[in-house]
Structure formats: C-alpha cells, structure tokens
C-alpha cells in the first residue's frame, strides 16, 4: 500500500475517534445549565428606603384675603425677610374706617353719660347720708323734747309750773315729732333718688359696654383690611399687585392668596414613602438628602414626622377623603429635617431622601438577585411510572395540592456541580445585598444569574459555572 493511502486511512480513523468523543461529551452535557455564581459573604449592611419629594420649610403660612377690597399698598417684595407683626399690605378701607370713627364718637358720648350718671349717684349717696344724719339728730331732739314734756306734765299736775310753761313744752314736743317725720320722709325721698341714679348709671355703663363691643367688632373688621406677618421669615411667593381686588374664601372655595411667608431657619425634605416601606420608617432615623438643583452634594437629616394617613398616588388625596375603597398604590408623607441646610435653598426644589431604616454589622449576605421563589411541588422528586387519574379529587388530595402550591423562599446552592434549592430566612435588605439568617453558611457558592436561569432552573439540575463578564454587543459598544 502506498504511503499516501496509509496516511489518509490514519487521518480518517482519527476523525472518526474525534467524532465519537465529541458526540459522547455532547450527550454527557445535554441538560447542563450555564450559570453565574457568587459567594455568601459577611459585611456591614444598611437597609435604606428611598423616596422622592420636595424641599419645604418646617413652618410657613399662606396669607390669604380676609375681606373684599382693592389692594392699595404692598410694602414688601418677594425674597424680603420680615418680622412677626410687620405690616405687609393694605386694602382700601374707607367705609370700615368711617364706621370705626363714628363708633369712637358714640363711645366718647357714652363715657360722658356714664361719668355724669356716676356723679349723680355719688351726689345722691351724699344727700342720703346727710338726710340720715338729720333723721338721727331729729330723733335725738324728739327724745329730749319728750323727756321735758313728761317732766313739765308732772310739774303742771303738781301746780309747780304755770300753764304757759306747760304749753310751751308740749308745743316743743309736737314740733320735734314733726321734724322727725319730715327727716324720715327726706331719707325715703333721697334713697329713691339714689336708686334712680344707680339705675341710670347702670344703664349708662351697659350702653357704654355695647359701644365698646361694637367698636371692637368694627376695629376687627378694619384690621382685616391690613395684613401683618404672622411669623418671622421670608416672602417666598407674592402673586398679586397693587390695584388687584382680593376675594375672601368661602366653603369649598379658597380665597385670594396674597403671599406666602416661610420660616427658612428650619428646612425639611417632605417625601412620599411607598406603603410597603413605611412600616420600617421610625422617628429619629438618619437620612441622606440629595437635591436636584445642587448636584454631587449630600445633606444629612433626620426623620422628624411620619404621616398617619395614606395618600392615593394618582390623586394626591388622603384615603380618608375618598368616598370609595381603592386598590391603587398609596404613599405616606415623611418629613426629613436637614441638619445644616445651605442658605440658597428655595421651597419646591425636588429632593430625594435615603432613609437608613436598619444597620447590621458583620451580617451574612447574598446578592438580592440570588433570592428566588419556588412552589413546594416543584421541589419534590417526580414519581416514576406515573399514577392513574382519579375520577374526582377527594379532600385529602385537594389538601395535598394546596400544600404543593405553597411558596418557599430560597436560593440555588452549588453542590458537586449541581444546583440544589436551599430554603433560607432573610433579615434586612440593603441596596444590592440581603441578609441571610438561616439556611446558608459563609463561603457557600450560590447561583446569582442570569435572571432567565433563576426563573427556569430546576432543583438538582446539572450546572456549568461561567462567571466571565458578558461580551458587549455592537450596539452597547457604540
């Protein structure tokens, strides 16, 4: 046989052997899943709740119209700092001002009337005291005259005095009685005059009180035409101009907004936290706040207020204000107070708060994407040979089916080139990792990807580990 023929036979044999080996390897690797893996490691873990909102001062107030009228003066401009009680603006107030002046005149007249009535009452009291003193004196003189009359009558009976002396003494006694009666009548008359003066004084004082109450009401009406700062702060919004008409608010209809005064000494980030995260948020927790208008800078803060009412995300209304039940997504208001806010902050700036809800030192963690859910029936080994279908499932079988649909949380751990589903219990969740409290130990290798593999991989499946970085497509390179 020629050499070239022999060489061809050898090459053909090698090719056949290679084909057999390749076919054998291919058959062996059939059903093997290519996975990406990671390790169970220990690290410090921080659980964070992220929410968006806007910058707001802790204390602010909207100064709204409290009367109908035209703006005649605006004494501040937007951005000005004001002090509590400082005059801000005035409305046209001719009529209420005239009403106040007229009532002040009535009050002055009422005060004069009350003063005159009080003087008359004092005079009547003095006259009554004088009349009462005269009555006491008259009674004393009557008593004296009576004694003299009794003595004179006794002497006259004994004929020790003359008839003229007796008559004189008797006449003096009668005069004394008349004087007492006159004094008593004067006391009664003076007392009546005093009661009348007191009544007039009471009437004058009542009228004076009415004048004062009316003046207070009219002054209150007049004050509604002037606006003063309710607190120390900055004018952050001034949407009106001199000459515009202000309208008071009525039920279910807000009034005209004059301006907004904000206390910029305490700045907050008011954010909306998803209802699934609000249970982990507590007063006093630390937070980091970023503001879109101030990039690449983070501000420290603390949670100072947590809302109790859920806010419907689509409408912005509290769920308690809704007349119908809703399954829409809901948020809760959370206020984060900034520790050292910059001076250039303005209300309404968009902000994002990252609230640290829990911290763990040296926690055993896995990547979040490694965590998956399987039904209990999916983890059981299929029975060989199959079973005959029953005509109708009995209660025991239905209970078994229900138990088989029970979901179990776990990860796929690598055990001798196989992916074995291991149930785990978890703790706090970080940004990219989650704490594992049971089921794994440090250093265990687990399946972390791809996402499609984690969704479809079966328990106890053969795996091939490929942790190389995926190649970028042409579009990704561009």
User: Using one digit for the tens of pLDDT, what is the confidence trace for 173-191?
Assistant: 888 888 888 888 888 888 8
380 to each of 85, 402, 415, 421, how far by Cα in Å?
A: 77, 14, 17, 11
Q: Are residues 348 and 406 in the same domain?
A: no
Q: Are residues 111 and 186 in the same domain?
A: yes
Q: Are residues 347 and 370 in the same domain?
A: no
Q: Are residues 113 and 37 in the same domain?
A: no
Residue 195 forms part of a structural domain? yes
The answer to whether 419 and 372 have CB atoms below 8 angstroms apart is no
Statement: residue 10 has pLDDT above 80: no
Residue 206 forms part of a structural domain? yes
Nearest alpha-carbon partner for 234 in 397, 90, 81? 81
Q: What percentage of the chain has pLDDT greater than the value 90?
A: 35
Q: What percentage of the chain has pLDDT greater than the value 70?
A: 87
Find the mean pLDDT for residues 265-273. 93
Q: How confident is the model at residue 344 (pLDDT cuts 50, 70, 90)?
A: confident
Higher pLDDT residue, 351 or 328?
351
Q: Are residues 328 and 369 in the same domain?
A: no
Q: What is the pLDDT of residue 29?
A: 46
Q: Are residues 355 and 412 in the same domain?
A: no
Statement: residue 327 has pLDDT above 80: no
DSSP state, residue 358: E
Domain of 302: which CATH number? 2.40.30.170
Q: Are residues 420 and 434 in the same domain?
A: yes
Residue 28 forms part of a structural domain? no
Find the mean pLDDT for residues 55-67. 89
DSSP state, residue 158: T
Q: What is the pLDDT of residue 372?
A: 92
CA angle 243, 75, 86 (to 5 degrees): 135
Q: What is the pLDDT of residue 145?
A: 84
Q: Are residues 304 and 197 in the same domain?
A: no
Residue 240 forms part of a structural domain? no
Domain of 458: which CATH number? 2.40.420.20
Say how many residues make up the chain.
478
Q: What is the pLDDT of residue 149?
A: 81
Find the mean pLDDT for residues 110-129. 87
Statement: residue 4 has pLDDT above 70: no
Residue 428 forms part of a structural domain? yes
Residue 233 forms part of a structural domain? no
Q: Number of folded domains in the chain?
A: 3
The answer to whether 91 and 67 have CB atoms below 8 angstroms apart is yes
CB atoms within 10 A of CB 108: 11
Find the mean pLDDT for residues 13-20. 55
Q: Are residues 130 and 219 in the same domain?
A: yes
Mean per-residue pLDDT of the chain: 84
Q: Which residues pair with 425 in a beta bridge?
A: 438
* HEC profile of 25-71: HHHHHCCCEEEEEEECEEEEEEEEEEEEEEEEEEEEEEEECCCCEEE
CB atoms within 10 A of CB 117: 21
Q: Are residues 340 and 372 in the same domain?
A: no
| Prediction pTM value | 0.61
Residue 10 forms part of a structural domain? no
Find the mean pLDDT for residues 114-141. 87
Which residue range is the domain that position 208 belongs to? 95-223
Q: What is the pLDDT of residue 226?
A: 92
Structure tokens at 258: 């004059």
Find the mean pLDDT for residues 266-287. 93
Statement: residue 441 has pLDDT above 80: yes
Nearest alpha-carbon partner for 427 in 51, 50, 42, 52? 42
Task: Give the range among 130-139, 214-223, 376-385 with minimum mean pLDDT.
Answer: 376-385
Q: What is the rounded (10 degree) CA torsion for 307, 309, 310, 313?
A: -80
Higher pLDDT residue, 31 or 51?
51
Q: What is the pLDDT of residue 31?
A: 67
Q: What is the pLDDT of residue 252?
A: 64
Q: Are residues 295 and 334 in the same domain?
A: yes
Residue where a domain stops, chosen among 223, 249, 274: 223
Statement: residue 249 has pLDDT above 60: yes
Q: Are residues 416 and 336 in the same domain?
A: no
Find the mean pLDDT for residues 407-430. 91
Domain of 163: which CATH number? 1.10.287.620
Residue 211 forms part of a structural domain? yes
Structure tokens at 26: 């291919």
Sheet holding 69-74, edge to edge: 226-228, 87-91, 69-74, 245-246
């Amino acid at each position: 046989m020629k050499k070239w023929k022999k060489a061809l036979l050898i090459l053909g044999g090698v090719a056949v052997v290679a084909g057999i080996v390749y076919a054998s390897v291919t058959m062996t690797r059939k059903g093997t899943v290519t996975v990406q893996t990671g390790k169970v490691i220990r690290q410090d873990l921080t659980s964070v709740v992220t929410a968006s909102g806007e910058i707001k001062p802790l204390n602010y107030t909207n100064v709204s119209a409290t009367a109908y009228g035209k703006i005649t003066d605006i004494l501040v401009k937007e951005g000005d700092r004001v002090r509590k009680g400082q005059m801000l603006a005035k409305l046209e107030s001719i009529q209420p001002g005239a009403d106040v002046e007229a009532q002040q005149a009535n009050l002055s007249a009422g005060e004069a009337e009350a003063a005159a009535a009080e003087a008359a009452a004092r005079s009547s009291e003095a006259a009554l005291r004088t009349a009462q003193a005269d009555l006491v004196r008259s009674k004393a003189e009557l008593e004296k005259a009576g004694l003299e009359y009794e003595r004179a009558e006794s002497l006259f009976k004994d004929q020790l005095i003359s008839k003229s002396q007796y008559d004189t003494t008797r006449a003096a006694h009668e005069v004394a009685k008349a004087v007492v009666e006159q004094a008593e009548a004067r006391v009664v008359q003076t007392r009546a005059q005093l009661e009348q003066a007191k009544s007039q004084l009471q009437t004058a004082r009542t009228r004076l009180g009415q004048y004062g109450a009316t003046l207070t009401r009219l002054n209150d009406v007049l004050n509604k035409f002037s606006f003063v700062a309710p607190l120390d702060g900055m004018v952050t919004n001034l949407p009106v101009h001199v000459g515009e008409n202000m309208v008071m608010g009525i039920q279910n209809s807000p009034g005209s907004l004059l301006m907004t005064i904000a206390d910029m000494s305490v700045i907050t980030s008011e954010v909306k936290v998803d209802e699934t995260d609000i249970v982990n948020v507590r007063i006093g927790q630390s937070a980091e706040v970023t503001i879109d208008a101030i990039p690449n800078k983070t501000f420290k803060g603390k949670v100072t207020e947590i809302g109790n009412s859920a806010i419907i995300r689509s409408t912005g209304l509290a769920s308690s204000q809704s007349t119908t039940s809703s399954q829409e997504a809901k948020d809760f208001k959370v206020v984060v107070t900034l520790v050292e806010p910059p001076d250039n902050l303005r209300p309404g700036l968009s902000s994002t708060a990252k609230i640290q809800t829990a911290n763990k030192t040296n926690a055993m963690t896995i990547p979040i994407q490694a965590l998956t859910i399987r039904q209990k029936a999916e983890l059981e080994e299929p029975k060989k040979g199959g079973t005959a279908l029953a005509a109708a499932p009995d209660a025991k079988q239905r209970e078994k089916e229900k138990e088989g649909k029970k979901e179990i949380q776990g990860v796929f751990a690598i055990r001798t080139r196989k992916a074995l589903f291991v149930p785990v219990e978890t703790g706090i969740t970080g940004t990219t990792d989650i704490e594992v409290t049971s089921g794994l130990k440090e250093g265990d290798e687990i399946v972390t990807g791809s996402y499609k593999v984690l969704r479809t991989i079966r328990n106890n499946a053969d795996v091939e580990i490929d942790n190389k970085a995926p190649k970028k497509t042409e579009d990704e390179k561009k």
